[in-house]
Structure 1
Amino acid sequence: MRGITTSNVVRTIRSLHSGSIPRQLLARDSGKERVVILGSGWAGFTISRHLDKNKFQAVVVSPRSYFVFTPLLASTAVGTLEFRNTLEPVRGRNAGVEYIQGWADDVSFDRKTLTIEAVTSQPGSGSQADKASSSRRGELFDISYDKLIVAVGCYSQTFGTKGVRENALFLKDVGDARKIRSRILECEYPIIRILPPLLNFLGFETASLPTTSEYLRKNLLNFAIVGGGPTGVEFAAELFDLCHEDLSRLYPNLIPYVNISIYDVAPKILPMFDAKLATYALNLFKRDGIKIKTEHHIQELRPGLPEGQKGGPDTAGCLTLTTQEEGDIGVGMCVWSTGLMMNPFVQKALDSVHVYPKSSAITNILDNAPDHPSSLKWSLKRHSKSGGLMVDDRFRVQLVESDAATEATVVDVFAVGDVSVMENSPLPATAQVANQEARWLAEHLNTGDINSHRFSFRNLGVMTYLGGMRAIMQTGEREIKGRTAWLIWRGAYLTKTVSWRNKLLIPIYWAINWVFGRDISRF
């Protein structure tokens, strides 16, 4: 065929092998503005799906090629649902979205270009830890944009607690849910890479062995959840259901050893709920035997059993959780869910503005505003506590010069979701907020009237599953609890599921597991 030579084929193969991006992907779609969206979470994925594809060329940059419906992750971690029930592909059939699997490395607001590092292999959870653990750096390349939307999300906050990042399990991505499910049943733990092969198996399988001593069995089946918010509470509830509805039939002699504890530094759990609903949840957990340990300060999480406990070298991969109040506690698994920390891309790559973007920045009118803002040193304005990007009520990022005497607004760069903080009305970092922000921004970019409208958040309420087909729900002054709240909880999540494929599969899996029990197979 004309135009195809051996050298061209070799170059193509080398390009694919090195992870470089096909040039046709970087080509501009004539007649359309290119909107580059950083992130495939709640905000980024929602914007990519709602942008008018006749007006915009949407390009998503993310290490993950999928969106995760995070409210159902706890259900997948215990086998109530399958992992793919929570996933939606970024590309998708008829999505009209281009996708680049990579990390945003740097931004030039003046030249309107973004430097991207290609992902050399699929990361486990799309986290900065995955990037840091990669053995080689991906190829760097630039892509231009007309509008840039920063929606990279946040990571789990560990507060620098010793050993947590290395030894705890999190619940932010489907990879985390897979690790938790494996840990409960067999189980494989991240620390096994540095432990002898003898220590690779634990959980219910190891606890059921006749060679396992009673003291070790108690530690293996002691599950610690750190964080008393909705995520930690829902996981504790799902874990309780798994143990007492399914595993109790397979391991009846082990259930008396199961101990589930929720740790939190605050004086109470579920602080976003009114006292009446929070008390209902507390009493329900006490009845079920789930321990609530508030005002507990975690100091360390390390491999092995607490010092002084007998048992020799075989600790079966157990961990020691050290608290200020109780000292060392042996646990078989620790799930960490204590809030959010700012994405390293926002902390580092967006640390400074290389050149003032005079073509797209509007300097705020102040008495001491300089005549030549390009001569000043500018940086992105951040929230003093969280480090999030300060935005106006249209989600446009704000700049501040070095002396903090002058500010500016960049009209073609937006930040939504967990990484953004509205100056006039800060909002909680929840999926509900990110979803509404993304829908609003996409809608007003489509109509072109973004300058004439201001975002207003509508609180749809909060809900949390408590186990045993019971939940709590609060919308304004209305409070619902028990079985009715559980039905609403399931109905709301099913309605919010994106694709019709998962809208059909999720209730089918619910029905199958209700009749036949959860799938606890290990593979």
Structure 2
Amino acid sequence: MTIFSFFSGASRALGSSSKLLVILSISSGGLVAYSESQTDAGAQSAEIKQKEPQKKRVVVLGTGWAGTSFLKDLDISSYDVKVVSPRNYFAFTPLLPSVTCGTVEARSIVEPIRNIIKKRNGEIQYWEAECVKIDAANKKIRCRSVIDNSLVGNEEFLVDYDYLVIAMGAQVNTFNTPGVNEHCHFLKEIEDAQKIRRSVIDCFERAVLPDLTDEERRRNLHFVIVGGGPTGVEFAAELHDFILEDLVKLYPMVKDLVKITVIQSGDHILNMFDERISSFAERKFGRDGIEVQTGCRVTGVSDKAMTVKVKSKGEICSVPYGMVVWSTGIVTRPVLRDFMDQIGQNKRHVLTTNEWLRVEGCDGVYALGDCAAVAQRRVMEDISTIFKTADKDNSGTLTVKEFQDVIDDILVRYPQVELYLKNKHLNDVKDLLKDPQGHERKEVDIEGFKSALRHVDSQMKSLPATAQVAAQQGAYLSSCFSRRQQCQETPEGPLRFRDSGRHHFRPFRYKHLGQFAPLGGEQAAAELPGDWVSIGHSTQWLWYSVYASKQVSWRTRFLVVSDWTRRFIFGRDSSRI
């Protein structure tokens, strides 16, 4: 056999995918052959893949405003994202009062969460389940499926995480009032709005049955809203329009027996709005025949009546009703209350985060929206370290120039300083260092510095539990996650006054874009940035345009506008579906 015939045979034996290395020793006439197959190459490739850094596991709890805003813009190239929520859709909750009366259909304001995540090329997984336990020590969550348990498969499962984003919202606060859970409607979810819609029709259908007394008909047609906030007021306005424009035409025999009552524990309805809006709403409700009872507290609810205590007189009276909608605020969910016990926040009323939305006392866990509150740090807590950082020459006094060198970081880290300057009409931060007589000082010591800033923390305010806040928090945290590596290398945040260096990110800053209060009769009130107040028919059209533009997809935008058009032309549907 020749050497060339050996090469040919060896090549055929090893196949085309192998490499053949032949070493020929002339002096000894020896021949050595070595083959490296593709199997070894595959092993090397697998080894390289194992050395690649694994994606961080991000678990998002909730598909509401905060959770959806976080998911929409997140750069998922560095993260393995899982979403857990019992609700497999996003709901545009500001339009829930419209759903209760058929002004807008329920499916018009929801977008399936899988429609949202499919735009991310399937790289985000969603599981329809509820979180029942957060194990912060082991970075796991226990989930339970909300799907019909007659189906096969495990009902509970564990999910590991590196980062946990809690955006599960809150539940209605009943203040432990007896009978509320059994006899009242809530208005937090799509299902709540659908139940209210059916209940309204039931009240009218029951009222027109034969052999009922007028007193029984009046009770069936007495609609009570407990809570004079935006949700309660908007529902009362929607219900009034539904009755006036549609139902009285269908049930003319009982049109004079209908009554709507709003019960508010405070002195005014819409007390979180400008006083002009609150006063206008009360006057308009008075003209429309909607009774507003302020300074009253519901102490109990039975199947036919509720007991109400009038604070000013101390009297307790019984109020018969046909339907009650309870809209009095929110409270922390039990699963989060258990989590708060684990991390030492058991004495707080709500889960607390720092200004970067990270849960205090728990690394890698963030909380957004209604389920959490941001604890803004006080200037006076850090006043000594701020002074020391600014006093670069360690002279024990602070010059105006030294103060100006750190003021930008102070304004970013402590937003209450900027609010204080605005409210006191101070044109320059140097004005803070003036003496009590208003004279400029070239330098101040630590006591003078404390005196200059001692009233700044009075401007601290808690963020409202609104969709606007939740959406901005979700977008902010998404941006932080997407730019994490970049900002770790080049921090963009303010100085760490209690430590060295800078914070990686700027803290969350809420930007108020205004708020609306539809008041019925094609009129609305709006509180706009810059202390502007708008009331009337033109504001209602502004409300239409803003709410249409804020829909999460063109599909829901088209459906909502179509529903509004249908209502203008044909009226609302009174079918019990």
Give TM-score scaled by structure 1 length: 0.76
- Counterpart amino acid of 1:459? H
- Cα displacement (A) at 1:105: 2.3
> Pairwise mapping of residues 145-156 of structure 1 onto structure 2 (< 5 A)?
145-156=161-172
Return 389-398 or 425-434, whichever deviates more: 425-434
Alpha-carbon distance in structure 1 between the residues aligned to 2:97 and 2:187: 7
Match of 1:432 in 2: 468
Conservation of the 8 A alpha-carbon contact between 2:331 and 2:350: no
1:394 aligns with 2:356: yes
The question of whether the paired residues in 2 share the 8 Å contact of 1:220 and 1:333 is answered with: yes
Tell me how far apart the structure 2 counterparts of residues 392 and 480 of structure 1 sit (CA, whole Å): 35
2:483 is aligned to 447
CA distance in 2, matches of 1:32, 1:252: 65
**Deviations 1:350-388 (Å, cap 9, x if unpaired)?**
421xxxxxxxxxxxxxxxxxxxxxxxxxx243673xx21
Please say if residues 60 and 99 of structure 1, whose CA atoms lie closer than 8 Å, have aligned partners that are also in contact.
Answer: yes
In 2: Cα distance, 1:506 partner to 1:382 partner: 42
Shift of 1:58: 2.1
2:119 is aligned with 1:94: yes
Q: TM-score, normalised by structure 2?
A: 0.69
Aligned-pair distance for 1:455?
0.9
Q: Tell me if the contact between 2:340 and 2:346 (Cα under 8 Å) persists in the aligned partners.
A: no
Residue aligning to 2:516:
463
For residue 96 of structure 2, give the secondary structure of its aligned residue in structure 1.
helix
Structure 1 residue 297 displacement after superposition = 1.1
Q: Tell me, what secondary structure is at the counterpart of 2:296?
A: coil
Letter in 2 for 1:94: K
Shift of 1:452: 2.5
Answering whether residue 49 of structure 2 is matched by residue 49 of structure 1, we say: no
2:319 aligned counterpart, secondary structure: strand
Tell me the residue number matched to 1:313.
none
Distance between the aligned counterparts of 1:492 and 1:255, measured in 2? 34
The number of equivalent residue pairs is 414
Q: Is 1:520 aligned with 2:577?
A: no
Pair 1:248-2:248 in alignment: yes
Partner of 1:381: 345
CA contact (8 A) 1:380 1:389 kept: no
Q: Partner of 2:367 in structure 1?
A: 415
Aligned to 2:184: 168
Q: In structure 1, how many angstroms separate the alpha carbons of the residues matched to 2:323 and 2:53?
A: 53
The one-letter code matched in structure 2 to 1:107 is I
Q: Which AA in structure 2 matches 1:337? A: S
The percent of aligned pairs where both chains have the same amino acid is: 37
Partner AA of 2:119 in structure 1:
N
SS of equivalent residue, structure 2 residue 75: coil
- From 278, 293, 308, the counterpart of 1:323: 308
Query: Are 1:115 and 2:142 an aligned pair?
Result: yes
Equivalent residue of 2:174, what SS? coil
1:204-283 correspondence runs (5 A): 204-283=204-283
Of residues 1, 24, 33, the one that matches 2:56 is 33
Letter of the structure 2 residue corresponding to residue 154 of structure 1? A
Q: In the alignment, what sits opposite 1:511?
A: 565
Residues in 2 aligned to 1:465 and 1:383: alpha-carbon distance in whole angstroms: 37
Deviation at 1:244, TM superposition (A): 0.2
Q: CA separation in 1, counterparts of 2:556 and 2:65?
A: 16
5+ unaligned residues in a row in structure 1: which ranges?
1-28, 123-133, 187-202, 304-318, 353-378, 400-409
Quote the Cα distance in structure 2 between the aligned partners of 1:160 and 1:35.
Answer: 36
Counterpart residue identity of residue 245, structure 1: E
Q: Which residue of structure 2 lines up, in the alignment, with residue 6 of structure 1?
A: none
Decide whether the 8 Å contact of 2:340 with 2:351 is kept in 1.
Answer: no
Q: Which has the higher helix share?
A: 2
Determine if contact 2:140/2:161 at 8 Å carries over to the other structure: yes
Contact 2:76–2:482 (Cα < 8 Å) also in 1:
no
TM-superposed deviation, 1:112: 2.1
Report the residue type matching 1:82 in the other structure: E
Aligned to 2:322: 332
Aligned-pair CA distance for 1:169: 0.1
Q: Quick check: 2:306–2:318 contact (8 Å CA) kept in 1? A: yes
Distance 2:344 2:78 in 1: 29
Q: What whole-Å deviation, never above 9, does each CA across 1:198-223 have from its counterpart, x for those lacking one?
A: xxxxx111111232221110000000
Q: Which amino acid aligns with 2:507?
A: R
Give the match for residue 478 of structure 1.
532
- For the residues of structure 2 that align with 1:57 and 1:211, how far apart are their CA atoms? 64
**Deviation of residue 230 (structure 1)?**
0.3
Q: State the 1:80 CA deviation.
A: 0.4
In structure 2, the gaps of 5 or more residues are 1-51, 311-315, 377-459, 489-503
SS at match of 1:521: coil
Deviation track 1:218-266 (CA, whole Å, cap 9, x = no partner) reads: 0000000000000000000000000000112111221211100000110
The match for 2:132 is 105
SS of 1:324 mapped into structure 2: strand
Alpha-carbon distance between aligned partners in 1 of 2:168 and 2:53, rounded to the nearest angstrom:
27
Residues in 2 aligned to 1:297 and 1:184: alpha-carbon distance in whole angstroms: 24
- Residue of structure 1 equivalent to 2:99: 76
Query: Corresponding residue for 2:292?
Result: 292
Look up the match of 2:403. none
Shift of 1:480: 0.2
TM-superposed CA distance for 1:30, in Å, is 8.3
Contact 2:515–2:527 (8 Å) recurs in 1: yes
